[in-house]
Amino acid sequence: MLAAARAAFAERGYDGASIRGIATAAGVDPALVHHYFGTKEGLFLAAVEAPGDPDEFLPEVLAAPPDQRGAAVVGMVLRVWDGPGRSAVLALVRSAVNHERSARLLREFVLTKIIRRVVGSLDVPREEREARGALVASQVAGLVLMRYVLKLEPLASAPREEVVAAVGPTVQHYLTGDVLLPGRRD
């Protein structure tokens, strides 16, 4: 079931994949998928081997005042990476770098479960949300790569609060600031 789910989510994305289609591809009844994974979201989280459910850590980010959302995003990312799921997240990122299917799954996970929700919670024009989300993701991915994978000092050993203070304003600027957005010609 997980192999069929990974293929479906990688090929069609979260919104385009269905429990019924995944069950058919796996040669099982959809009820069996529901039995083991509960919901489509549960199946998705298992398929991408997510170290945690964004519904557990994202409410804190969304509850932050809009002008502090960038710092909240960075703080959340650091808490997830510094938590018990660190090795699972690291494996997922390394896999995404080397395998296109893993990259698509990770991209879909980050996009649908985190970025869209954060950017969509702000008062920014709808036509800017995708570009702002991509900029936020690029900043966070760079932070993760330098701090946890390449372990670039002094970033790798800096206290969490210092990293939030240093990187949060840039993420905030991407979220709500006046920025020339990629893909926009105006």
Between 112 and 176, the higher pLDDT residue: 176
Same domain, 26 and 104: no
Q: Indicate whether 20 belongs to any domain.
A: yes
The whole-number pLDDT of residue 55 equals: 80
State the pTM of this model: 0.74
Q: Indicate whether 185 belongs to any domain.
A: no
Give whole-number Cα distances, 76 to 44, 56, 70, 131, in Å.
21, 11, 10, 21
Between 180 and 92, the higher pLDDT residue: 180
Count how many domains the chain has: 2
Whole-number Å distance between alpha carbons of 174 and 83: 26
Instruction: Check pLDDT > 80 for residue 145.
Output: yes
The whole-number pLDDT of residue 186 equals: 54
Same domain, 118 and 150: yes
Same domain, 30 and 98: no
The Cβ of residue 168 has, within 10 Å, a number of other Cβ atoms equal to 19
The CATH number assigned to the domain holding 91 equals 1.10.357.10
Instruction: Check pLDDT > 70 for residue 59.
Output: yes
For the stretch 7-45, pLDDT in tens is: 887 677 777 889 999 999 999 999 999 999 998 878 887
Same domain, 105 and 161: yes
Mean pLDDT, all residues of the chain: 87
The whole-number pLDDT of residue 177 equals: 94
Q: Indicate whether 183 belongs to any domain.
A: no
The whole-number pLDDT of residue 88 equals: 66
Task: Collect all residues with Cβ–Cβ distance below 8 Å to 32 and sequence separation of at least 6.
Answer: 1, 23
With beta carbons less than 8 A apart as the criterion, state whether 163 and 114 touch: no
The residue with tokens 């039995």 is: 35
Between 61 and 84, the higher pLDDT residue: 61
The whole-number pLDDT of residue 91 equals: 67
The whole-number pLDDT of residue 50 equals: 67
Domain span holding position 96:
54-176
Same domain, 103 and 15: no
Same domain, 12 and 83: no
